[in-house]
Chains A and B, each alone.
Chain A
């Protein structure tokens, strides 16, 4: 019974959102606000269960060595909320923000260099005389595509002549890449619609076999 009620509510809410196709309306707004409210509380449950309980309280209760230290980041976490206090006190939230920013910056500097810049540059140094003409052409296109795109980003404004022509080639490659990405994006959006249609006609109306 609970399952049936659940499916009917879900189906009704699906139609509420689809009503936006007709234009912005109270039914859509109702559903939208319900969604935002529900997910906001959902996040709080997450923070409680996976952060405060599992990462802080449980180790302290289990008397793990040094676990009491975890109260410090918890305290800094709560401090983040002090940004809503009057200016006299709100500056204290900067300490927590500084902590998150510092570690985030360190992580990015290392990760982007080791995990993106170096391997991607290395993968662009490709052989052009492999004995297979198709591989040679493909490798050439990858090299030219990468270099001309970077040229477009970094030199297109200042340069004239050959350099500007080369950066224009970069625009061509960028357009092909954006076109490919756009084609795939359309595919993704249609897939999401397929998901809802299968729910409506399968789980709700039972016209087709639910998946």
Chain B
């Protein structure tokens, strides 16, 4: 036995974390600096989400729930902007509200930016309700009257002051709910509003949550599902307006390939080590 002398299996099972970090960093940085553009394939789940908004017309109102904060911003903010561009492009009116306490400023920023692009007027074309505590309680009671919880908007102005809100009282007046979710609120929308009030819902969720949300898509409780940055890139493709999602796709590809290569190397090393150990055991028995 050559103890102390490192062979190939030892090398490839003990790659330093610094090397891994550097390669992952480069795999993300290089495609972004080179400005590599990638096309994405549209998945049925995102296509359905797109179709849900596409089916609406200018008399319809959608409710967008900002249930994320800066930690999930790179995944969900592009979805927010793409959906807003789609909705405002079709003259659909938008109500925004927030359940994740730290999410309001980024939601407001996204809403104001896209509303500005389309020349939309606050109170006539869109409204920002702000945040309320008690998530599920708010969701349930908004089915009776939105004003029970939101007598004013985020600016402290009574809802009835705004022309857009005069005829909007509960879910009967809202065509579709769009939940952008980094936590459990997506499930709450499904369970407490979708099931109870038969409300149409589409969800945009972080990659972490995507897999567990699919059963709701399969059961028809949501009409569409946009998962992670890839989902955002797909939606951007569908509306023909590239944004953050598509910009990040090349980096996403490179980083995934790097990680897969690491997994393969790790497994080759594992099997080589196992074979070596087995050989040593057999040799040991012979001796």
Contacts and interface: CB of A to CB of B under 8 A. Distances in A.
Direct contact of A and B (CB under 8 A): yes
A84 interface: no
Interface residues of B, number: 57
Contacts of B259: 186
A181 B188 CA distance: 20
A191 B228 contact: yes
A173 to B, nearest CB: 13
Interface in B85-112: 101-102
A189 to B, nearest CB: 8
Contacts of B230: 187
B13 interface: no
Contacts of A198: 32, 74, 244, 247-248
A107 B192 contact: yes
Contacts of A196: 74
B247 A119 contact: no
A187 B252 contact: yes
Interface in A175-193: 177, 180-181, 184-193
A116 B192 CA distance: 10
Contact of B211 (A103, A107, A177, A207): A177
A142 interface: yes
Interface stretch (A1-9, A42-50, A89-97, A155-163): A42-50
Contact of B219 (A39, A107, A122): A122
Contact of A194 (B71, B101, B208, B229): B229
A176 to B, nearest CB: 10
**Is the contact region of chain B dominated by helix, strand, or loop, or is it mixed?**
helix
Contacts, number: 145
B251 A194 contact: yes
B287 to A, nearest CB: 39
A78 interface: no
Interface string B180-206: 000000011011101110000000001
Contact of B132 (A50, A123, A142, A184): A50
B33 A190 contact: no
Given A187-B207, A188-B228, A191-B229, A197 B195 contact: no
A69 B259 CA distance: 58
B101 A46 contact: yes
Nearest to B253: A190
A86 B54 CA distance: 60
A187 B219 contact: no
Interface in A60-89: 64
Interface string A192-206: 111111100100000
Contacts of A112: 191
Given A185-B207, A186-B256, A195 B73 contact: yes
Contacts of B218: 123, 142
B137 interface: yes
A188 B207 contact: yes
B196 A197 contact: no
Contact of B28 (A39, A115, A123, A193): A193
- 6 tightest CB-CB pairs across the interface, nearest first? A115-B191, A195-B74, A188-B207, A123-B219, A181-B211, A115-B195
Interface of B: 21, 24, 28-29, 32-33, 35, 71-75, 101-102, 130-133, 136-137, 140, 149, 151-152, 156, 187-188, 190-192, 194-196, 206-208, 210-212, 215, 218-221, 227-230, 243-244, 247-248, 251-252, 255-256, 259
Interface of A: 21, 39, 42-43, 46-47, 50-51, 53-55, 58-59, 64, 103, 107, 111-112, 114-116, 119-120, 122-123, 142, 177, 180-181, 184-198, 201, 207-208, 211
Given A123-B215, A197-B32, 4 more contacts: A114-B196, A185-B208, A194-B255, A198-B248
